[in-house]
Amino acid sequence: MTAYVFPGQGAQYPGMGKDLYERYPQARALFDEADSILGYALTRVMFEGSEEELKETKVTQPAIFVHSLAMVSLLGDAFRPDAVAGHSLGEFTALVANKTLSFGDGLRLVYQRAMAMQKACELVPSTMAAIIGLDDSIIEEVCDDIDDIVVPANYNCPGQVVISGTETGIFKAMEELQKRGAKRTVKLQVGGAFHSPLMEPAREELAGAIENTAFANPLCPVYQNVTATPVTDPAEIKKNLVAQLTSPVRWTQSVQRMIADGIDTFTEAGPGKVLQGLIRKIDRTVTTGSISLPE
């Protein structure tokens, strides 16, 4: 059984998608539609923009979303997933891939999400940090003990958890986690505390947009970040998607559950190979790969 997985923020790179646009009419059609929906030339920033331009949340999120779905478009009728999942932003991509959302509705939600997150980031000085080489339980305990907002945000793979919170809280946590035996603590170059209570204003803003968007019955289950379980009910998918902004991304748990449910092949669709690397660290017995470009 095969699951298709879709990356989140951080997978972008300058020039992303240019080869797809130039070589494949079905991919070009999606890129052109995205420019039209957004009302600005996303493709120009993707193909010609600097690394700095691409890092802006309002650019990054739509860019990764469109690139991933352009890859899926190349498969045509050969795209037959048994399940889908996405890391953070990638969950929206997964929901378009499995026909829960239309491309246009998915892109509009992604753009609204990006803008809402950007606004929330500007309210409080906040950041994120990767913690390498510690048990999840120790990280959770340290976060709980700090008298500031600090929470586990991404359970990426065993031994790699990202924490999220106020700048002062994150520095306190990094210091304490080093004392508790972390191999490395790395402050991330991000604009704010994603997947933490500090994203509450963004969650409220996005909740209305999601509620007013049509969600169809999916082709296959989506393993959602918030619950790490397979979901097919559109109402439940909506609820989990809203909760995702202030809840941790349970990627390790999602992959483990997919494997327990019989998934033995994971195909990553989108820029980079981040998720393949994480999946191999979670379980080396499964097959991982990405969509190969047809010649």
Indicate which residues carry an active-site annotation.
88, 195
Beta-strand relationship, 150-157 and 287-290: unpaired
Q: Which two tokens stand for residue 10?
A: 């951080």
Query: Over the chain, what HEC string results?
Result: CEEEEECCCCCCCCCCCHHHHHHCHHHHHHHHHHHHHHCCCHHHHHHHCCHHHHHCHHHHHHHHHHHHHHHHHCCHHHCCCCEEEECCCHHHHHHHHCCCCCHHHHHHHHHHHHHHHHHHHCCCCEEEEEEECCCHHHHHHHHHHCCCCEEEEEEEECCEEEEEEEHHHHHHHHHHHHHCCCCEEEECCCCCCCCCHHHHHHHHHHHHHHHCCCCCCCCCCEECCCCCCEECCHHHHHHHHHHHHHCCECHHHHHHHHHHCCCCEEEECCCCCHHHHHHHHHCCCCEEEECCCCC
Q: What is the separation of C-alpha 146 from the centre of its chain, rounded to a whole number of angstroms?
A: 27
**Residues composing the chain:** 295
The residue to which tokens 């990094």 are assigned: 174
Phi then psi for residue 191, to 5 deg, are -85, -5
